[in-house]
Amino acid sequence: MKSLLSKLPEVQGTYSEDDSMAFHTWFGVGGPADIIFCPADEKDLLKFLTMCPKDIPITPIGAGSNLLVRDGGIAGVVVKVSENVTTIYHEGTRVIAGAGATDAAVARYAQKAGIAGLEFLIGIPGTIGGGLRMNAGAYGSEFCDVVNKASALTRDGQIITATPPEMGMSYRNCDAPRDWIFVSAELQGRKGNPETIRARMKEIIHSRSHSQPKGVRTGGSTFANPCEGKAWEAIDKAGCRGLQIGGAKVSDKHCNFLINTGVATADDIETLGETIRQRVRQSGGPHLRWEIRRLGRKSSGGRSND
């Protein structure tokens, strides 16, 4: 039987076989991906998509900051754009960034260019592509507030350009088709004083360091805030602060963060999250929606749905 790698097109980027997703996610857990592909650039990705057999599953990821990969790993090819699709430049007060560029890098670039309005990005871990996929936000702003348009490639190699309304962006949600792989975004800022922008970014960094756990393996905010109130408040009220299952624990500092204490499996983390949701509902609290994206197969080998 032909190996999966032998069925894939020649590329300028790199392929790696049976690569543990624990090395590609902030949680540090997850089974292997059959193949991880890091395209050299957008053209390389376009060639891959055009020539890759259609029966091979493709899963795009960014920095893995808001991602939980299950212990059975991911079938097919994981496309990781955060290695090379990272160009950032600006035209006037518009910043154009590759999908693999980190949010923090874009915030710092904008600050140096005297472009205000993108400071909130310094408080969001992850990449521009990941931020588009979930309409990430922090400190009163979210992606849909600053994105003019985004560019993506489809599974058949079609190039798509879409605005936030066309992508159905809403609170921590984007309805863009799952087979879109974002490659860039145009962000709209405004003229600003670099020192004033820097000061605001420092405020955000300071606030984040004092309110969120640091120096630990976590995936950021676990659940989106409900229509009323805060997710952490509902979790705390349900008595889940410090709750632990296996090697996964609810942060004592901010209970909307789950932590890998060092020995957690993906199943520990997901089970802890589901236990929290159940306890919150049993205590009369709201239905909590996962903000963290969950992917892959259970360790038994069966594919799970998000």
114 in any annotated domain? yes
CATH label of the domain that carries residue 66: 3.30.43.10
Which is nearest to 205 in space by CA: 301, 85, 110, 125? 125
Q: Letter for the amino acid at 2?
A: K
CATH code, domain with 99:
3.30.465.10
Is 204 part of a structural domain of the chain? no
Say yes or no: 94 and 74 in one domain: no
Q: Which of 60, 80, 100 is the last residue of a domain?
A: 80
What is the C-alpha end-to-end distance of the chain, expressed in Å? 31
Report whether pLDDT(305) > 70: no
Confidence bin at 300 (pLDDT 50/70/90): low
Residue 181 belongs to a domain: yes
Measure the CA–CA gap between 95 and 86, rounded to whole angstroms: 13
Residue span of the structural domain in which 134 resides: 88-192
pTM of the full structure: 0.92
The Cα-based distances of 153 to 49, 134, 254 in angstroms read 8, 17, 37
The per-residue b/e assignment along 235-271, b for 16 or more CB within 10 angstroms, e otherwise, is bbbbebbebebebbbbbeebbbbbbbeeebbbbbbbe
Nearest alpha carbon to residue 143 among 94, 185, 192: 185
* pLDDT at site 49: 97
One domain, residues 188 and 226: no
Q: What is the pLDDT of residue 111?
A: 98
Give the Cα separation of 169 and 3 in Å (integer).
Answer: 39
- Taking only the tens place, the pLDDT of each residue in 254-278 is 999 999 999 999 999 999 999 999 9
- Let me know: does 162 contact 149? Beta carbons within 8 Å: yes
Of the listed ranges 98-102, 173-177, 277-281, 297-301, the least confidently predicted one is: 297-301
Q: Are both 93 and 170 inside the same structural domain? A: yes
pLDDT in tens, 81-114: 998 999 999 999 999 999 999 999 999 999 999 9
Amino acid 239: pLDDT = 98
Task: Grade residue 35 by pLDDT with cuts at 50, 70 and 90.
Answer: very high
Q: 186 and 99 in one domain?
A: yes
**Would 208 be classed as within a structural domain?**
no
**Does residue 199 lie within any of the structural domains?**
no
Tokens of 298: 């259970």
Residues classed as catalytic? 172, 221, 291
Does residue 253 lie in a domain region?
Answer: yes
Q: In terms of domains, do 61 and 107 share one?
A: no
Residues 74 and 95 in one domain: no
Of 51, 80, 109, the residue that ends a domain is 80
Q: What are phi and psi of 234, to 5 degrees?
A: -65, -35
pLDDT (0 to 100) of residue 306: 52
Across 243-249, average pLDDT: 98
